Amino acid sequence: MNASPSIDVFAPAKLNLFLAVTGRRADGFHDLVSLVAPLDFGDTLRLVPLGPAGSGADELECAAAGVPTDARNLVLKAAVAWRAAGGRAPRVRFVLEKRTPAGAGMGGGSSDAVAALRGLQQLAEAPLPEPEMAALAAGLGSDCPLFLAGAPTIMRGRGERLEFLATAERARLTGRRVLVCRPGFGIETPWAYGRLVAGAPESYTPAAEAEARLAAWRRGELELEDLLTNSFEPVAFGKFLALPALAERLRARCGLRLHLTGSGSACFALIPSGGDESAAFEEVRSAWGVEAFVATARLG
């Protein structure tokens, strides 16, 4: 029998357009309310079948510096979890082409993990039922259910409770152009949450306030640009002064408003219809140096 052909799975990055951390739970995790959208930019995960199911462990290759290719990587964790849940597919070599910067708050690792799940489902002799896939994704990480959904979504709880937008609401997001940039450093998520805890309760957004702002946008009473807030922004901008420095330059010279995604360090700005991002690219390079990541993308 001939081996199955290789398949490629797109692993989109994401942006938290609105992110309100509403408090700390008894289990030590935090509750949040977030409007999240995937991008048309991200990684590619190739699955190369190596042999029949049960013939050995899956493998991972990645040429990007600093990306672990052992059991620490969420791609292999996802594969182990999928097989443990009863999934049966050929043993594979995962080849990860990394574009989404790490330590950026863009969900790259979580998206790669979901791409692994999707790829194994495509190669499976008998794929797992969708409810089991949802449970697997939730167990892998807070952003994973979003990537399984694959569309702009409202996340609540730790990120596992999803509410899908109405068609008209999605239409107001899909296709919007954004500038995305990341300085030459990341921000550790545990550090960011630790700073929120240290500043509590003032650092948290009351849940009722967060829901009211989101509802106003959904009713069309609030423009998207006026919705864009992030509980981590005061924390990150207060510590890493390169972030507010660029925000001021983009506002003054390009008319763009810079916002943090996730816990950072990546930021984004909405590009007006017909806008030219070339001047913004120059400002990012000038402020953060050639090692900075900068790109344009569209909301998915």
Domains and their CATH numbers in the chain: 7-164 (3.30.230.10), 170-298 (3.30.70.890)
Residue 267 has pLDDT above 70, yes or no: yes
pTM of the model: 0.92
Residue 2's pLDDT is 52
100 three-state secondary structure: coil
Q: Does residue 101 carry a pLDDT above 70?
A: yes
d(C-alpha 247, C-alpha 259), whole Å:
8
What is the C-alpha to C-alpha distance for residues 14 and 39, in angstroms, rounded to an integer? 6
Give the C-alpha distances (Å, rounded to integers) separating 270 from 167, 207, 248: 21, 26, 15
Average pLDDT score, the chain: 95
User: What share of the chain has pLDDT > 70, as a percent?
Assistant: 99
- Per-residue pLDDT reduced to its tens digit, 6-65: 999 999 999 999 999 999 999 988 999 999 999 999 999 999 999 998 888 999 999 999
**In whole angstroms, what is the distance from residue 82 CA to residue 113 CA?**
11
- What pLDDT sits at residue 3? 62
Q: Which residues are catalytic?
A: 14, 143
Share of the chain above pLDDT 90, in %: 88
For 175: left if phi > 0, alpha if psi spans -120 to 50, otherwise beta; the answer is left
pLDDT digits (tens, 9 = 90+) for 201-249: 999 999 999 999 999 999 999 999 999 999 999 999 999 999 999 999 9
Whether the CB-CB separation of 262 and 142 falls below 8 Å is answered with no
pLDDT at 72: 95
Is residue 160 pLDDT above 90, yes or no? no
